[in-house]
Structure 1
Amino acid sequence: MNRETMLALGIAVVVAVSLVSVAAVPDAFADPDSDPVRPGHVSIEEVSIAPGAVSGGTANLTVDSRLGHRGGTTENVSVLVRAVGLESGLEETAVRAEVGEISGDREVSVVRNLSVERAGGYRIETVVYRDDERIADGSKEVRGVGTLVPEYARTSVDFHWRADDDLPAVEYTVADAGDNRTALNVSTYLTNEGDDPSEELRVVLTARQADSNIVADRATVPVGTIEPGRTATPNAELAVPDGYNYYLDAVLWKDGVVVGTARSVANLDPTETIEADETVREVGIEVGDFEDDDAGAAGAARETEEPAADAGEGGTPGFTAAGALTALVAALLLARRQS
């Protein structure tokens, strides 16, 4: 028996053993794409942030993380949400939510509240884990948290005039003058911009001497309840010395809390005039765009690649049913050629 014939017979023996293995273990060469235990793919589709309950020192931020799921069942999913100070870089607070098992092509909403200091801005980070392995993450910035109004200081009533109206927020007329005293009839306008009647309010009107900052006179005026869309005009008479300039301040109170202020001027000195102080304030809370981190993209890539790498577990290395049949046909042709 020559060498070629022996080689062909050896190949035939190996192929026969492979076919016997296929018959004995039918799932040894199963198509990896049909593996029912392959985990699905989880990603962060969207993160929305809304202000919740606000007190004098803290603010609750409601974070809604929407997870997108595709493919087979994914088990032991959890989401970590944390707030990191933009200026300090320190973690302010963190909460973790156990999501559990997710299956099918759908979105899952995970809502958690973060309690942070009512000041500055924060980077809200969202991290998704599967079996304590990070598979997706991203972040979103929130600024102007200090502008959130505490619940005890909220009211739908505000001073009617705005800075761009070129009209004074506090008006006055000279009611009487004499004996080095001037009586000023001071008034302001309060509008209920809400949908419900206002709370019981009061306004304090003050005449403050501009140079010394001394209070020349002050009066408290009950405002009562203002109906929705209506304007009230509280007024009072203040007596001040002649020949000076005054700041006219209006302070709005609700249940012992200052909820609004306004200022105008009364120029009674014919040789000098003053203007109301201009103030600059934050315009309100701002939420930035959600950003996916590179680590999350890498985790998603690992998630899709790893099952394919493990698909051949339990089979015979290097052989498939199609490969075995091909080798058998080649061996028979070679043996026939040599005979």
Structure 2
Amino acid sequence: MDRNALLVGGAVGVVVVAAVTAVLVPGVLADPTDEGPIRPGPVDVADVSIAAGPATGETVTLGIETRIDHRGNPTQNVSVLVRAIDAESGLLATTQRVDVGNISRDGETTAATNLTVPREGGYDIEVALYREAERVDQAKRSVSGVSAIKPPYLQSTTSFTDTEALPPVSYSIEDAGEDRTTLDLTATLTNTGDEPAEDLSVTFVLRQAESNIVASRTTVDAGTISAGRTDSVDATATVPSGYNYYIDAVLMRDGVVIDTARGAANLNPTRTISVNQTTEDVELRVEDFEDDDDRTPEDYESERTRTESSAPGFGVVVALVALLATALVARRWRQ
């Protein structure tokens, strides 16, 4: 047989076998344009920001915004896990997961969520970025002073002043009696807002420094304080003389405490107190702080009995003198 014919026949046989195999077994021949599985593009945490949201008396909501940076090929099944950990105890307070889904375009993508935590202390916010089930990046931020985020009913632009030249609470003596002293009290308020402040009141509470006994309590209307203005609220209080007192001023609106301040009134010239400490204890007479309007008829009867029992003619000495005089008279009568 001709050698050339044999070679041509063998080549034709190989082509036929390859064609039959390709038909019977799809995919046995590789596509020269197929580059294999597409490698997902890289993703990472670009930044994390925290904003204060709504607050109640017990909790506050923190708005967590995570910016994700993506480059290259599309990335599927991206998610963000956000955790709030108590900064003092290290205990997990709450956690949230955000499903971002597939990211195909280059640039930053935002994932936002809210975490509700107790309104106290501080928290470490941990953000973990996942692709499929694999953690690919993470970030950490901290927030402190969460208790300063106030609910709406505690929010106010008005507060007591806090300067040495204009103290929040001051007093002067109107009438100094032997047993009672009348004080003129003044509280200074500043409205830092853009609107007038209304429906405010100030309660003055005077406590004897060493015993903490409330000697006087009075509430006055603060009126209207214009925007950006400082105004004063005045009241009077009568207390027992010769003692030192803390003057607590409480700013209230609709029964809610907005702000507090403290001053000191030194009515005992031999001992002085400051707002933060006392220098010496004093002897306290509780009866000085009793309210005459609260005394019962039994109290007056007891006082009258004590007075009569100490009156002239009922003492032991007087009785002995009378007995001796009677004996002398009887003796002279027998003589």
- After TM superposition, the score normalised by the length of structure 2 is 0.70
- Quick one: which amino acid aligns to residue 142 of structure 1? V
Corresponding residue for residue 216 of structure 2: 217
**What is the CA–CA distance in structure 1 between the aligned matches of 2:70 and 2:240, rounded to whole Å?**
75
- What is residue 300 of structure 1 aligned with on the other side? none
Equivalenced residue count is: 254
Alpha-carbon separation, structure 2, partners of 1:86 and 1:257:
30
> For the residues of structure 1 that align with 2:234 and 2:261, how far apart are their CA atoms?
14
SS of 1:27 mapped into structure 2 = coil
1:253 aligns with 2:234: no
* Higher relative contact order structure (alpha carbons within 8 Å, sequence separation ≥ 6): 1
CA displacement at 1:72 relative to structure 2 = 1.7
Q: CA deviation at 1:238?
A: 0.7
The letter for the 1-side match of 2:231 is A
Question: Aligned partners of 1:87 and 1:190: how far apart in 2?
Answer: 35
In structure 2, give the amino acid aligned to 1:260: D
In structure 1, distance between residues paired with 2:244 and 2:89? 45
Partner of 2:242 in structure 1? 243
**Corresponding residue number in structure 2 for 1:329:** none
C-alpha separation in 1, matches of 2:256 and 2:82: 34
Query: What are the superposed Cα offsets for residues 282-333 of structure 1, whole Å, 9 maximum, x if unpaired?
Result: xxxxxxxxxxxxxxxxxxxxxxxxxxxxxxxxxxxxxxxxxxxxxxxxxxxx
Structure 2 counterpart of 1:250, one-letter code: A
> Of 11, 27, 40, which residue of structure 1 is paired with 2:32?
27
What secondary structure sits across from 1:113 in the alignment?
Answer: strand
- Distance in 2, Cα, partners of 1:210 & 1:69: 65
1:277: which partner in 2? 276
Match of 1:20 in 2: none
> 1:200 aligns to what SS in structure 2?
strand
How far apart, CA to CA, are the structure 2 residues paired with 1:190 and 1:263? 13
Mark the runs of 5 or more structure 2 residues left unpaired by the alignment: 1-14, 16-28, 278-335
Instruction: State the distance in 2 between where 1:70 and 1:189 align.
Output: 59
**Whole-Å separation in 1 of the counterparts to 2:124 and 2:69:** 22
Q: Percent identity?
A: 48
SS at match of 1:189: strand
SS at match of 1:234: strand
Matches within 5 A, 1:303-322: none
Cα deviation, residue 137, structure 1: 1.3
Q: Structure 1, residues 129-161: CA drift from partner, whole Å, max 9, x if none?
A: 122222211222222223332332111101112
- CA distance in 2 between partners of 1:212 and 1:206 (Å): 14
- SS across alignment from 2:153: helix
Query: Secondary structure, in 3 states, of the residue corresponding to 1:97?
Result: strand
Letter in 2 for 1:175: E
The equivalent of 2:121 in structure 1 is: 120
Find the counterpart in structure 2 of residue 77 from structure 1. Answer: 78
For 1:90-109, list aligned pairs within 5 A: 90-109=91-110
Q: Does the C-alpha gap of structure 1 residues 94 and 199 become closer, same or farther in structure 2, counting only changes over 3 Å? A: farther
Partner Cα distance (1:255, 1:80) in 2: 42
Tell me how large the CA RMSD over aligned residues is: 2.5
CA distance in 2, matches of 1:120, 1:210: 31
Aligned-residue offset at 1:40: 1.5
Cα deviation, residue 86, structure 1: 2.5
**Per-residue CA shift, 1:29-55, capped at 9, x if unaligned?**
75x8xx8x3321111011011211111
- Normalising by structure 1, report the TM-score: 0.69
1:200 aligns with 2:205: no
Unmatched 5+ residue regions in structure 1? 1-16, 18-23, 279-339
Q: Which has the larger radius of gyration?
A: 2
Distance of aligned partners of 1:29 and 1:201 in 2 relative to their CA distance in 1, 3 Å threshold: closer
What is the rounded CA distance, in whole Å, between the counterparts of 2:165 and 2:222 in structure 1?
25
Distance in 2 separating the partners of 1:199 and 1:67: 47
Structure 2 equivalent of residue 263 of structure 1: 262
